[in-house]
Amino acid sequence: MQIRTFSSSIFLAFLLCLFASPTIHAKKMYKWVDEHGKTFFSDQVPPEQSQLRRESLNEKGRVVEVTEKAKTKEQLAQDERLNALKQAQEKVIAQQLARDKVLLNTFRNLDDMQAALAGKMRALDSQKLALEGNLKRVESQLETQQKKAAAIEHKGTKIPQPIMDEIKATQAQIQIARCEINKHDEKKSKIKAEFEADIERFKFLTKANTDTQKPSATIADELGLYPCDSDAQCSKAWEIAHNFINTHSTTGIEINTDKLIMAHAPATDSDLSLSLTKIEGADKKHQLFLDIHCRESSLGKELCAGQKARDIRSAFKPYIEAAVAK
């Protein structure tokens, strides 16, 4: 076996001479860099260097295949965790795509959606009127009971215990009725917000002509994971992360919900498409998972495995922490 080391300045001349020889022409050539930064070219890789990243070259010296460096136990463990996060992300994306399909199959146009929202709001308003009517009835009942008790007390007589129990029971009913009204208001606000989000999503889906693609990213050094301590903190971090994606993604945002922010799929080899998923952990606390997607090509995969993608992942958690702390 013959191993040669060369500086990059004479690499091209070496290849021209190497592949011009008919005896070597048919052999596969490899290029790799050892732990000391020394570059090697050979038709064979020594066993002691077989764990290093290497490139297979064609007769023109172009990279046709890349064999990544063997991973450590720590890196394999990180890969396993990242794959679990990706599966959770895929689930969120699948849910979003299913919701998109339902939207498009349920409504013909925006007028249909606006009419449906108006009808839902009217129904909820009618329900609230019934709840408010029940509250007034119970409040009137309490007023009658309190007047009766006051009249008895005015005569200098002790208020009987059954009347006192009735007043307490009615007061409890009033508290329950008020809670039901508050819950109804929260329900109405939530339904309205979800409906309005669906309307915006419907607008996008009916204008867009490109299909939503599932993300595919290369493993990098950092996970891009931000754990939330509370729901309030997570909501703030989510808004901050939106700005981070706008800054670092080279493609515009395609999906923006309360659980998923995803940019358009990469169209070129130089595109970095970012996505963010809100995932619930085993402890019921949420964590924000940043993923980076590149085009399914040799250059795209190299970009996602490169320093630029690693820097983006590494910057994500500190960026969120610094902004949340303000």
User: Which pLDDT value is given to residue 283?
Assistant: 62
Q: What is the pLDDT of residues 206-229, one digit of tens each?
A: 874 333 333 333 332 345 778 888
Contact 290, 224 (CB under 8 A): yes
Contact 99, 258 (CB under 8 A): no
Q: Which helix (H) or strand (E) holds 64?
A: strand 63-67
Q: Is the model's pLDDT at 145 over the cut of 60?
A: yes
Residue 277 neighbours by CB under 8 Å, 6+ apart: 85, 88, 89, 92, 93, 259, 260, 288, 289, 291
Give the Cα separation of 211 and 209 in Å (integer): 7
Report the CATH fold assignment for 73-102+214-325. TATA-Binding Protein (3.30.310)
Percentage of the residues of the chain whose pLDDT score is greater than 70: 84
Span 163-182, average pLDDT: 94
Span 59-78, average pLDDT: 76
- Phi then psi for residue 28, to 5 deg, are -80, 135
Among candidate residues 253, 254, 268, the one with its CA nearest the CA of residue 303: 268
- pLDDT level of residue 146 (50, 70, 90 thresholds): very high
Strands 273-280 and 286-293: antiparallel
Give this prediction's pTM: 0.43
Lowest mean pLDDT among 57-66, 181-190, 278-287: 278-287
